[in-house]
Structure 1
Amino acid sequence: MKIFAYNYREFDEAEYFQKFSKEYGVELGICTDAPTLENAHLAEGYEYVTIITSKIDRELMKKFHDIGVKMISTRTIGYDHVDIEAAKEFGIHVSNVSYSPECVADYTVMLMLMSVRKMKRIMQRGEINDFSLPGIQGRELPNLTVGVLGTGRIGQAVIRDLSGFGCKLYAYDKYENDAVKEHAQYADLDTIYRECDLITLHMPLTEDNFHLIGREAFGRMKDGVVIVNTARGGLIDTKALIEAIESGKVGAAGLDVIEDEFGMYYYDRKSDVLSKRDLYILRGFPNVIVTPHMAFYTDQAVSDMVKHSIESCILREEGKEDPWAVV
């Protein structure tokens, strides 16, 4: 079978694409750029396309349909960058991938520790030989109550890791999991907002939970609450977050994702003037850490993402059940 790979990265994905395409007998077409209306024609003759977090809107979906693409597999867990309704309209199947939850869980705990220990300011001071103490006194995780929103594979891994710190743990999910109950107590959002010193997000982004955390939610939280987001930027209303930081309602934030990040991350943009005003505001706060959607980025995860994307296409081609199928 033939698969066309957009966003093909020579420096990390190439070895896995070559390994697994050879292993599975796949003829691979590649393009290092994200898919656009201008380069969509490169996938002509390929019924299967694999992408990363590139915007696939209705117009681009129609273009792929017109050249005979039957399936788009995103090498990511989230798929909110793909117009699912357009995919259904044009009869194009969509799948995502899974990868080891440890990469994001590790990163989440790192952001938690950096946030509660005021590591951004400590490192900034250290760079200019300012070794003073005022303003950098931190807190200890065992003394904090933590709320985990979303208890899928990543949320479960975070809860497991945090249990070793001795935190009191609350969890929220539409679907409760018995493994989670060994370490955390399920609760409603109101309880979590009211009781938790730190809240971490591990949900997919859907229409139902867009801006789940906004002005009203912040208003119900403790003063000085710490917010960590390694899931999707749209779960938090950015402008409401900025207001909450400025008022002191949010004491610190560790953000690996933000709203409106498409087309920005994974490119060298250091000489560009970015129209991302909220990003500049967030990065300017001494108590906010913003990283460029890197929580997933480990050797194991990259291998899993490429392998599962290829396997998903193969399963669809063979008419077998695909565990990563979205539509």
Structure 2
Amino acid sequence: MNILFFSTQPYDVTYFNQANTDNAHHFRFLEYPLNEDNTALIKDETAVCVFVNDKVNASVIRQLKEKSIRLIALRCAGFNNVDLKAAEEAGIRVVRVPAYSPHAVAEHAVTLLLALNRKIYKSYNRVRDNNFTLGGLEGFDVYGKTVGVIGTGNIGAVFCRIMLGFGCKVLAHDVYKNEALMKAGVTYVSPETIMAESDIISLHCPLTPDTKHLIDAHTISQMKRGVVLINTSRGGLIDTRSVVEALKNGHIGALGIDVYEQEEQLFFQNFSGTIIQDDVLSRLTTFPNVLVTAHQGFFTREALTQIAETTLANINAFEKNEPLKNAL
């Protein structure tokens, strides 16, 4: 099958070519994101392979249909950027990678938490300047703290278990309760309880109309003063302007994010030497208690291998007219 990749990075080329061991498919890789302006780049492809910041709205889907595209293969778990109803009406199937080493993202969330708490980024820069003082580097014991986890799917479940290993009290909220987590010691509670009782809150739920701006001025007002907030899921879960205000007044003690509301205009690109026009992100990065990474939570060898292999397995199943277990 001929497949056109959008938003391609060098590692996509490497891992997908490795997974295409029998050369069953022909790939064409483009660095450009998919949107209304560049569907003309599609030639004789049957499928397009897209990532988190590609725009696959109703307008784009109409153009894909005109180009005889029959399959949209997401090489990610999230699908909030795809108009599923429009795809169904157009007769275009949509598949995704629902799980690709959940440990990668969960471990990255823990990394953000620990780096923020123990000021690793500050101490690293100090030592490089031959400054070996400790003032301003004080943290706290994660052991014994109450950790609130919103979303206990594959990634959230791994995060819960890691926090249990740290000796934390873990509270969780999800539409579906994970019995194995409950047996391990996780307590399911309401979102309001998580906001009120947690010292640390980590977001691991999908972005839907119900979860958009889950963290806003109202929910922040319910949180403990000095709470640490971590988001490695989707940027739209957080109303960033409200978080900025909470950082300014000290209600949020630290923020670690690997995702951002407006990241599609910024992440996965190099803007070194230029002035970022996003005033909200620019303000965020001025806080000494904020750590931003550019959607790298998934970025491990294991995850990249799984993403490529699962994506191609989805495409193989479609080509052979087999059941699509990862269809949306």
| TM-score over 0.5 (shorter chain) | yes
Shift of 1:134: 3.0
Aligned twin of 1:46: 45
Aligned twin of 2:16: 17
1:23 is paired with a residue of what secondary structure?
coil
- Structure-1-length-normalised TM-score: 0.94
The one-letter amino acid paired with 1:44 is K
Tell me the alpha carbon deviations over residues 201-233 of structure 1, each in whole angstroms, 9 at most, x when there is no partner.
001111110000111101011000000000001
Aligned twin of 2:93: 93
* Distance (Å, rounded) in 2 between the aligned partners of 1:227 and 1:218: 10
Aligned twin of 1:227: 229
Aligned twin of 1:6: 6
How many residue pairs end up in the alignment? 325
* Distance (Å, rounded) in 2 between the aligned partners of 1:70 and 1:150: 32
2:3 is paired with a residue of what secondary structure?
strand
Contact 1:13–1:303 (CA under 8 A) maintained in structure 2: no
Shift of 1:102: 1.0
Shift of 1:24: 6.5
Greater Cα offset, 189-198 or 79-88: 79-88
Greater Cα offset, 218-227 or 140-149: 140-149
1:138 is paired with a residue of what secondary structure?
coil
Q: Does 1:143 align with 2:144?
A: yes
Between the two proteins, what is the percent identity of the paired residues?
34
Shift of 1:95: 1.8
Contact 1:120–1:286 (CA under 8 A) maintained in structure 2: no
Q: Does 1:33 align with 2:35?
A: no
Tell me the alpha carbon deviations over residues 254-289 of structure 1, each in whole angstroms, 9 at most, x when there is no partner.
111111100311111113332211111111000000
2:22 is paired with a residue of what secondary structure?
helix
2:218 is paired with a residue of what secondary structure?
helix
1:174 is paired with a residue of what secondary structure?
coil
1:232 and 1:19, CA in 2 relative to 1: closer, same or farther beyond 3 A? same
Aligned twin of 1:158: 159
Question: Where does structure 2 lack aligned partners over 5 or more consecutive residues?
Answer: none
* Distance (Å, rounded) in 2 between the aligned partners of 1:124 and 1:189: 37
1:213 is paired with a residue of what secondary structure?
coil
Q: Considering Cα pairs closer than 8 Å and 6+ residues apart, tell me whether 1 or 2 has the greater RCO.
A: 1
Greater Cα offset, 137-146 or 11-20: 11-20
1:77 is paired with a residue of what secondary structure?
coil
Alignment of 1:153-192 (within 5 A): 153-181=154-182, 182-192=184-194
2:19 is paired with a residue of what secondary structure?
helix
Shift of 1:12: 1.8
Aligned twin of 1:60: 60
Tell me the alpha carbon deviations over residues 87-129 of structure 1, each in whole angstroms, 9 at most, x when there is no partner.
2332322221130111111111111111222333333433434
Shift of 1:38: 4.5
CA RMSD of aligned residues (A): 1.7
Contact 1:40–1:64 (CA under 8 A) maintained in structure 2: yes
